[in-house]
Amino acid sequence: MEEKSRKLTESIFSALSAWQISQLSRHPRRPYTLDYIELLFTDFNQLHGDRSFRDDPAIVGGLARLDDRPVVVIGHQKGRGTKEKLYRNFGMPKPEGYRKALRVARLAEKFRLPLLFLVDTPGAYPGIGAEERGQSEAIAKNLYELSDLNTIIISVVIGEGGSGGALAIGVADKFAMMRYSVFSVISPEGCAAILWNDPKKQEQATKAMKITAEDLKELGLIDDVIDEPLIGAHRQKKDAIEALKCYFIDSVHELEKLSDDERLEKRYQKLISAGAFASANEEESKEEKEGSSTFSSLMDMITPSSSDKNSENEKKDEDS
């Protein structure tokens, strides 16, 4: 019976739809940032506050040791239970959260420590107070500063990667997603409500947006898919965390082989290549450009240049 149950479970999980993966990414028993920190790191020293307004519990970060190596880790924290969810604002950071993340990230640069981002948020908090304190500015500044931060950066989506709230700690040398995570500009429910005025069409929206790890890997928007257990991180937490640990260590070793200039240039090229596409009429356009160039060359050969015309006019003046 146990063997039959195992095979049935594997057959179900190996054929999940995009919407089912989206639901798994929100599973309340999936490991959150503090779960990863507890099982991965030792000597974790959490840092608080943005040195401007106050602390934001929706983002946690600090210095820690991974196998006796000092590192910096920063991530969203959703919280479990009603009280903690309210305290963590359901993992939706405010501007002070992103400013705190940038402050801690700068420490990683200062001490040349590898930096690990753990992304898991429905999105940045859209409240009035957050907007008044510069939510969009805080996110934009993180994107700008992290793009040129001179230390090794690894970012991993461990659950939900919602819009700018995820991007603000998603700029990295290596960007990966757990198998059952999602990364999108808007939630499937929000997309369905806007496009069809019907939140119940979330399954259709999820499929159309291509927000799963496999889809985004195929589109070239992420670097890797971390192979969490087939039955999900919520069922095999330790195995999932071990998979992320191996990925982080291997990625750091790989990036250490590059010089600072090479690493920063690769990061920059990855950022500017996001969203690039090839036109169906690309070859036709190329031929048109070549034809236009040839035509221009011929015209240059048979049409006197302005300097030639000036010379002719000067000669006429002298003759007269």
Q: Which tens digit of pLDDT belongs to each residue from 157-208?
A: 999 998 888 999 999 999 999 999 999 998 888 889 898 988 788 999 999 9
DSSP 8-state code for residue 123? -
Checking if the pLDDT of 286 tops 60, the result is no
Rg (CA), the chain: 26
What pLDDT does 298 receive? 46
Q: How many CA atoms lie within 13 A of 81 on its CB side?
A: 3
Q: Which tens digit of pLDDT belongs to each residue from 112-141?
A: 999 999 999 999 999 999 999 999 999 999
What pLDDT does 302 receive? 47
Q: Which tens digit of pLDDT belongs to each residue from 232-249?
A: 889 889 999 999 999 999
Cα–Cα distance, 145 to 38 (Å, whole number): 28
Q: What is the mean pLDDT of residues 273-299?
A: 58
Query: Cα 42 from chain centroid?
Result: 26
Q: Which tens digit of pLDDT belongs to each residue from 85-111?
A: 999 999 999 999 999 999 999 999 999
Give, in order, the Cα–Cα distances in Å from 70 to each of 64, 107, 113, 151, 173: 6, 12, 7, 13, 19
What pLDDT does 47 receive? 96
Checking if the pLDDT of 278 tops 80, the result is no
Q: At what angle do helices 95-110 and 135-146 cross, to 10 degrees?
A: 20
Q: Which tens digit of pLDDT belongs to each residue from 25-84?
A: 999 999 999 999 999 999 999 999 999 999 999 999 999 999 989 999 999 999 999 999
